[in-house]
Structure 1
Amino acid sequence: MLLTLDCADQPGITAQVTTFLFERGCNILDAQQFRDPSSDRFFMRVAFDPAAHGPDDLREAFEALGKSFGMDWSITAQDRARRVIIMVSKFDHCLVDLLYRRRTGELAIDPVAIVSNHPRDVAIHDDIGDIPFHHIPVTTPTKPEAEARLRALAEETGAELIILARYMQIFSDEQSAHFAGRCINIHHSFLPGFKGARPYGQAHERGVKIIGATAHFVTGDLDEGPIIHQDVERISHADSAADLVRKGRDIERRVLAEAVRLFCEERVLLNGKRTVIFRG
């Protein structure tokens, strides 16, 4: 079982949480905590053996303690696959990688839908099995309707996370707010330096020495949401524009997969415009 929490920093939080678990016969397996001096907030993640207790019983019992400290908290089953919607446009390398990692047991995700603004034969070049595919085209006049369809689909499927796996449409402010804290995007880390449709070509023309990718939560500020994970790779003068695209695809899929893993394992806590990441 996993307990995560954040609240205004004050004495006694760790003692009260560990006492709560001890009194119920729970065995702490791993505990991480962090105090942010800039926001004066306390963050904690505890993995524990719940003994004979179910999550609902523990949530009910923890309610009073959480309220006394003004906590934002959750208690979840550690081994439960998170229900996700994966969104993709024309490039499916991140999608295929996520599905492969799910098949090998590396990612605890349950894809309840794949959504694209393009037809299936354009958006996906690999077998997705029996995962439902939804073509939701987006144009300027139909964008409100398309976004409403996605919200309805997320509600119907009980999706806990929306993954933008190279989905090349910009969410409206309303959509971003609706999925706040549960929508992850991946993009190349050249922004704002190399914008537009040819970032790798532009980077090659400028002779960059490092390329990378960033996975972040979606907010109304385009590509400026709280960062979850990043990675880079060095580039030499001998690399062509095609080499940058190839290496960029590899970084994108790695970074997105790691961000999804961190989210599913309850290792990501929001801290204003930043995140607290409990690695493991």
Structure 2
Amino acid sequence: MGTGRNGHTITFLIQCPDKKGLVASISSFFYERDFNILSCQQYTDLLNGHYYMRLQVVLNDLTITRKQLEKEFDEFGNHFGLQWSVHYSDAVQKMAILVSKTSHCLYDLLLRWKENEMDCEIPVIISNHPDLESVADQFRVPFHCLPIKNGDKTSQEAQIRQILKRHHIDLVVLARYMQVLSPQFVDEYEERIINIHHAFLPAFQGGNPYERAHQRGVKMIGATAHYATEDLDEGPIIEQDVERVNHEMEPKSLKQIGRDIERIVLSRAVKAHLERRIIVSGRRTIVFSQGI
């Protein structure tokens, strides 16, 4: 199937209590409005009786205003108790990257962005240290160094939030940003802050996970990308991966292996978010496979 003259789509992310007739009813809603359905991915959580759907239609088929479409779908969805969001692919998302001193995740995101693997704009990189300014310069992305002076994290964070608002940021990526965000910050960007934790959560939460993993003699190390919440390293998990290790490996070796896992896990999570493939349901996520 084609995607219309400009290739743009409308993506609906839907969740609701499971009941008979959902697929037919939702499909009919779009059929009656002469939409071409490009993709319909669905998952039923039988244990909890909950239903999830990711549905894409051709933006070019839209014959009414976006506001009117959303109004009609909201009225339709009330009957089924739908929780939903809608996203238009011609509205390019703006992503800010927050870093400290470690560069590997930043490099990976910027390279993938330059290679057009991630459909977004990156108008700003923010750090609490000056170390990675040269990386930002290589990719011609504005860099802001906002150190925490005299332990005043509140003022520093206020500056970050001002920059994010000025650039109309949609997604914040914590690419090894080694500071805990305030509850106010997290609430303001709920389900729009992705953090990479250098451990396979829920194991080894907090700092120095590789040292602690070595002390425990683990046989696998991993990394976890999750949405940030008020509770440190407790947010809904988006992506994880692991690598086998053995007793001969020192913490330095574990870190080297871990960096590769972190790169992959973070990029997968960011890509899934940008492609509108994630539905947050309580403390967990439903992540649909990459489709159109």
TM-score (norm 2): 0.86
Q: After TM superposition, list the pairs within 5 Å mapping 1:266-277 onto structure 2.
A: 266-277=276-287
Separation in 1, partners of 2:195, 2:79: 35
1:76 and 2:87 correspond = yes
CA 1:259–1:173 in 2, change beyond 3 Å: closer, same or farther? same
1:267–1:279 CA contact under 8 A, matched in 2: yes
1:13 and 2:22 correspond = yes
SS at match of 2:267: helix
Separation in 2, partners of 1:6, 1:60: 17
Residue deviations 1:146-168 (CA, integer Å, cap 9, x gap): 22222222222111111000000
Separation in 1, partners of 2:36, 2:111: 33
1:23 and 2:32 correspond = yes
CA RMSD of superposed structures (Å): 2.3
Q: Which moved more, 1:34-43 or 1:106-115?
A: 34-43
Separation in 1, partners of 2:214, 2:134: 27
2:195–2:228 CA contact under 8 A, matched in 1: yes
1:53 and 2:62 correspond = yes
CA 1:91–1:261 in 2, change beyond 3 Å: closer, same or farther? same
Q: After TM superposition, list the pairs within 5 Å mapping 1:192-271 onto structure 2.
A: 194=204, 198-271=208-281
Separation in 2, partners of 1:190, 1:4: 28
Unmatched segments (≥5 aa) in structure 2: 1-8
SS at match of 1:6: strand
Identity rate of aligned residues, in percent? 41
Separation in 2, partners of 1:195, 1:44: 32
Separation in 2, partners of 1:147, 1:236: 40
CA 1:138–1:25 in 2, change beyond 3 Å: closer, same or farther? same
Displacement of 1:128 in angstroms is 4.1
Q: What's the counterpart of residue 101 of structure 1?
A: 112
SS at match of 1:270: strand
1:171 and 2:154 correspond = no
Separation in 1, partners of 2:20, 2:243: 43
Q: What's the counterpart of residue 99 of structure 2?
A: 88
Separation in 2, partners of 1:160, 1:99: 17
CA 1:156–1:10 in 2, change beyond 3 Å: closer, same or farther? farther
CA 1:140–1:275 in 2, change beyond 3 Å: closer, same or farther? farther
Q: What's the counterpart of residue 152 of structure 1?
A: 162
SS at match of 2:223: strand
Displacement of 1:58 in angstroms is 3.2
Out of 31, 37, 43, the position equivalent to 2:52 is 43
Unmatched segments (≥5 aa) in structure 1: none
SS at match of 1:95: helix
SS at match of 2:61: coil
SS at match of 1:94: helix
SS at match of 1:215: strand
Task: Name the amino acid aligned to 2:116.
Answer: G
Residue deviations 1:68-104 (CA, integer Å, cap 9, x gap): 4333322222365321110000001111100111111
Q: What's the counterpart of residue 192 of structure 2?
A: 182
CA 1:89–1:19 in 2, change beyond 3 Å: closer, same or farther? same
1:65 and 2:54 correspond = no
Separation in 2, partners of 1:140, 1:36: 49
Separation in 1, partners of 2:94, 2:193: 12
How many residues of Structure 1 are paired with residues of Structure 2 in the alignment? Answer: 278
Q: Which moved more, 1:267-276 or 1:31-40?
A: 31-40
Separation in 2, partners of 1:26, 1:205: 57
1:113 and 2:116 correspond = no
Task: Name the amino acid aligned to 2:255.
Answer: V
TM-score (norm 1): 0.90
